Structures are given as C-alpha cells and as structure tokens.
Structure 1
Amino acid sequence: MSSPQYTYAPQYEPSAGVGEYPGGQSVLYGGTGEYGDVGSYEVPGLYDAPVLDDPLAPSDAPAPSGTPAGPVFPRQAGEGGGRRKAARRRKARGGESAARRLLPQALVVAFLAGGTSAFVAQDKAVELTVDGAPRTLHTFADDVTELLAEEGVAVGEHDLVVPAPGEALASGDEVTVHYGRPVRLTLDGTRREVWTTARTVAGALRQLGVRAEGAYVSTSRSQRIGRAGLALDVRTERSVTVMADGRARTIRTNAGTVREAVEAAGITLTGQDTTSVPPGSFPRDGQTITVLRITGTREVREEPVPFEVRRTEDPSLFKGTEVVERAGEYGLRRVTYALRTVNGVKQKPKRVRVEVVREPREQLVRVGTKPLPTSVAGADGLNWSGLAACESGGRPNAVDPSGTYGGLYQFDTRTWQSLGGSGRPQDAPASEQTYRAKKLYVRRGASPWPHCGARLHG
C-alpha cells in the first residue's frame, strides 16, 4: 500500500508590496509579469490547494486535479512564521530596487517637461508688416532689432520702425517697418529734397504738412511712390490782389506766374502793358500786383556832338596868351527816344538808339609860355588904372555894344594884333593888355582914347 500524499499550500499575504512568482520573478502592484496583468495579486495555479482556517481540522475541500487523495495536514509549528519573515525581507529589498529604477526616469521626465515649458515660453507669435505687406511669424528674438536681423530686414536713417529698434518683444506684438522715400519737392517755387515714409503722393503731402486743398499737384495724388522716390511740383492756393483800371480784385489762385494770376482775375494785358512786378515771377500770398497800362511812341531828334580842344605850348607867345590855330566843329548825331504814358501819366523820354551822322572836328589852341615884359620906356609912370576905369570900368573881358572893341582899354582886333597880340584883346590877361596899351601910347600918345586919354596924366 502506497503512502498517503500531502499538499502544502503556503498562505499569501495581500499586504506585501511585491509578489514573487516561480523562478524568483518579482512585479509591482498591478504590474505585468509573464502571466499577464495581475490585478488581485494572485498567480493562477499557485494557491489552488485550500488553506485551513483551523490547523487542527481537516479540510473538506476537494483536492486539485492530479493530486492524490488523502487528508491535508496543517503546517508544522514554526514553519509559517519563518517563511513570512523571509517574504517581508524580500519585499522590502524589491521596493527599494524598484524605487532606484524609477528615480532616474522620473528626473528625465521632469527635466523634459520643464525644458518643453521653457521652449514654449520663448516662442513668440508676432505680426511683421514691411512697407504695407503683413505676415505672421514665430520667433525666439528678444527685441525688435533681433527680429529684423533674423528676417533680413535692413533699415536706414530715413526708415521708420514701430516699436523702435531695441524694444522688447512679446507674443502678439505687431512690428511695422515704413521705408523712407526721397521726394524732390518744389513747393511754391522753392526747391528742396525731403524724405517721407508715405507710399502715395497724398500721404506724402499729409506727412510733410503741405496744405493740399485747392493746390496744384504735378502728378496724381493717388500716384504710388517707389523706393527711388519722385519729383513733385506743388503750388498751394494763395490770396492775391490785382489792381487794374482803377479797380482792385482779390482772388485765390494756385497760379505759377504773376501773368497767370492776372489772367485768373479776368484782366487782359495788351500791347505794351505790364505789371509792377515781373510777369514771370512767382505770386506770393498776400501780394498786391498793379497792372500798368502803357501807350507810347518814338521820336527821333538830331543833336550836336561837342568837339574836343587840344592845346599846345608856344614859346613865341607871352604867358597867359592862347591863340586858336584851328577852330573846332560840332558833330551831329541822331537820337531815338521812347515816349511812354503809364496809366495816363507821361514818363521821362528814354533814349533807345544813337546814330552819329557827322563826327566833330578837334579845335587846336596854342598857349604862350614867353614871360611878359614889366615896363615900356616912356609909359610906365602914367595912370593906366584910371584909363582902364574910364574905358571899361576896369573889366579885362569887357566888350562894347557893337562888339568891335574889347578889353580894359577897348582895343579893336586889328590894332591889338598890330601890337603883337594874338586873338582878341578881351581874351588876354590884364597885364598883357596894359603892356600892349603902353606900346600903343609910345606910338601914338593918348589919341587912341579921345574921351579918357586925359586920365593918364590925372
């Protein structure tokens, strides 16, 4: 007879943290072992034998399949306590090992989670508008300068960036770049070069503060301004007063010349009419322009041309004596004058043309350099001043009413020249006239002066 077979069923303690399976494999609660998911910490087949609640009572439970029939006895004293202590030690060591395995993984997960958060925080969604072209982009730039450099947007001193370069960036910001454009502006006749960030002529006028209402603009106000710029002629509306025909007219005009402003006032310039300021000049705001109505004729006059006198020294003539060797002749010229009447008032004639008809002939004069004698024997002691006072009133250039006699002593020209005198006696110095009179007295006595001769001895 064969011996009875016994089955030992060890008790499993659910309070343990780690279960140990055949072959020594350990899993965490709820972990996955070679038996799949273990949710109730039971291993199939391991605890199929019944466990007796009472160690002294035999079990009535059927034996597992393949197990020999027979009574089941309880564990021997001391056997269960030793196994439980060993199981607890294995559980503690398994928990520490699992914690050591999980710590690096937890640190990596925490690091990656923190890095991802920082990565997401640095990424910014901004809108960049360059010269009117907007686009939305993501950037890690800290400020506007970095963003522009990152996008390859170069700006110069005439360009406008909003916000300003160097300003900090935040997600949701809008950055705008306006490129500067050169404008060669002629404003009311004054030329200068200016810069604008506007992209149309109308925008440039507003930005430059030009009063565009009523102004003349050389191109369409909707004309786009390229990066190369453009030339622009602007004439603003001005107030101008035009005085014409005794009436004042004040108008507002953007005319480019005074003539155009006058025509805009309904005034016509005809013939020689002109204005008080040059007709081609630029009319200024508040300026008063007077229209000059001009009528005129031309007049031709013949005028003499004076001759020149050339004098040469002659040692044969006494000092102070001049002799005309050749008389001069006047020339003749034809002069054209413009005679004008401005607003009914005659103006001074204006010489506009000169034509010489005949050239003048030079006059030649001989001038004496010979010293005069101081006395004439037989006549020095006489009263010559008394005779001169009686004959001419003491005037060296005196001439009688008939024109025949002249000088202090009233010589006729023939007698004068016979005494060595030149020209006319009244043209000679007083000392020479007295000298010639003394010579005449030596020749003829006092007879040449029948009325005043007695004064010589008085």
Structure 2
Amino acid sequence: MATVGVATALQTNDVALTVDGATTNIAVREKTVGGVLDLEGIELSEHDVVLPGIETRISDDMEITVLVARPLDLTVDGSTREVWTTAKTVEEALGYLDLDAADSKLSASRSAAIGRDGLSIDIITAKDVTLIAGGEETAIRLAGTVGDVLDEADITPDSDDIVTPDAGELLVQGMEITYVDVEVKSKDVDKEIAFKTSSVNSSRMDKGKSEVTTKGVVGLKRETYTETFHDGELQTSELASETVVKEPVTQVTTVGTRVAPKPAPKATSNSGSSSSSSSSSSSSSSSSSASTPPSSGKALDLSRAAMWDRIARCESTNRWNINTGNGYYGGLQFNLATWRSVNGQDFAAYPHQATREEQITVANRLYAKRGTQPWSCA
C-alpha cells in the first residue's frame, strides 16, 4: 500500500493553460485549478473569469482558460458608467452588453481591440424623431444630434435660419425638430411728397384778387424696407432708410393789397348868360394855356413797344387801365407829376385813362430824357 501511495503522489497531469488567448501546455502535480494558477504565478482580479472554476480538481489533458477582465468607461447617450468585460474587441463587448445596435453611433471602431488597460467608448443610440421643415413632417431614425438630422435631410442652415432645438443638441426619443428657412430682402418704395403752400402780398395787385405765381410741384422720396420671410411668407417689414429723390416745389399765391382810388369828380358847368360863359371859357382857356406846359403834339410813338410791354407786365401785370390808389397809374405806373412833365395830358388827364399806345408814346418821351431809370422793372 505504501508503494501505491508514493506512485499516486508523484503522478502528473498534462494541462493546456490558456491565459487571455495565449495557450501553454504544462505537466502539473497540483490537485486543483487554483493550485495550477498559483504555480504559474497568475493573480486574478475580482472581475477575471476562470474556466473551469478554481476549486475544480485537475484531470489529465484538462483545458484551463483564464479570461482577463478589462475596464470600459462607457458613455451611453450622455450617461457614463464603468463596466468590466472579458471581451477583447469593441463589437464583442457591445454584444455582451446588448448595445450592439447597428444604427448606434460609436466613438471607436467596432473592430477595435480592448487592451488590458481598458477603453473609453461613447455610444449614441438611434432615436425616432420628427423633422418639420417647410410645413412638412418627416419621420427620421438616427443617432446623433439635431445637426445630424438636418444633414440627413440635406438641409444646410445659414446664419439667419431658425433651428429648434439647437443644432448641437443630442437627440432624444420622440424629439420634434423645427427648421424655418429665413430670408431677408430689401425693397424700395417710391412715394410722393406733398408740396407746401405760401402766399405773398403785392401792392401791385388790387385787393381781393389773387394769382398763383409759382405752381406747386410734388416731390418724390424713396423708402427702403427690410423684409423678413419665414418659409417664403412675409413676417415683418421695417423701414430701414429714406432718401429724397426730388424736392417738392412750394406753391406761391400772390395776394393783392392795392386799394383802388376813388374816381375823379366830374366837371360841372356854371349856369348863367352865354356871354358870361363865353367870357369864363375864354378866361379859363387863357388860364389853362398859361398853367399847362406846351404840347409836343399827339402823334403816337410805338417804338420799343416790346420793351414797354415787358415793363408793364412787371409793373402792373399788363393792366393799362389800373389805378393803384397810391399815386401811380396805368400800365407803366406813371405818377401824375411825371406824366404831366412830358405832356401826357395830350392824351388824358390821368395815365390810366390813356390807351396802351398813348401810354407808350408818353413813355418814349420820358425815355428820351431819362432812359429807363424811372422804372425799377426795366
């Protein structure tokens, strides 16, 4: 019996030991899997896996497998946790964790190896969202951000467009995304500017009369509006600038202030004998002849008629029979002393009682002496 016991104690078993995928064939006398691991200096962490278990007794040709656990810093849809896995690739680990959906977005390649130091992986799972753009709704399943949904729909927002929620926000299940195409345009509108009115008084026009001497003209201004459209519909229109293209012309009305003089009293004849009348007439004729400058004749002189018409238009608006009441008479506005100084009484006692042609004749007499100096309108 003693001989049998010694033989049993010295018996060895062939074992295939695989650690993290590397296999070594060894002959061992240890009785358990744990003893073999101790023999090989293999220290296990609490997350490592040994197959079969460390209490399992050794048998000849046994296969022992040690699966070394690796830490994963796993962030799923923004939530981070640490997990341990014996998987050696990302795809294998995600399969163990039931996170291997094909439409998820990963920060690492699915075929990437996981070393013993572990790996950090960000996972964004696909979400069912609704995109509303141009008044139409589109159902989209995608992993990522609001901006990724816009890319999927071939929409590239510019700085004016409105995206809700923000393009950088992560998708959540059932999210509703709104895109508004904003367009800003400039529009010019031409508008009339009403003209103002004013009046001026004129002593050369009879009181109670008026005349538009400067006709009013409307002006033109250009208003520039900034218009904002949302998906093609006008939302706001704001006045951005205003430019006067043409200034309006003020309408001027000339108002007369001249008061017409009282008519000259009519001459009355004296009653009495014919001899008395004859004597009186003779005396009057003699007196008149003595006080009246000698006549230079009644022949008409219409030279410079165009000039006199122009002066009359300025002086009296071509009213040859006007009596202003301020001591000036007729179309060329003679005063009585000047009229008489050149024998205007050849034609009439007062200038306004003479015809246009007669007034021009008298004016030519005065022109021969003083030129146009007496007329400010010349």
TM-score by length of 1: 0.38
TM-score by length of 2: 0.46
Larger Cα Rg: Structure 1 or Structure 2?
Answer: 1
Higher RCO by CA contacts (8 Å cutoff, separation 6 or greater): 2
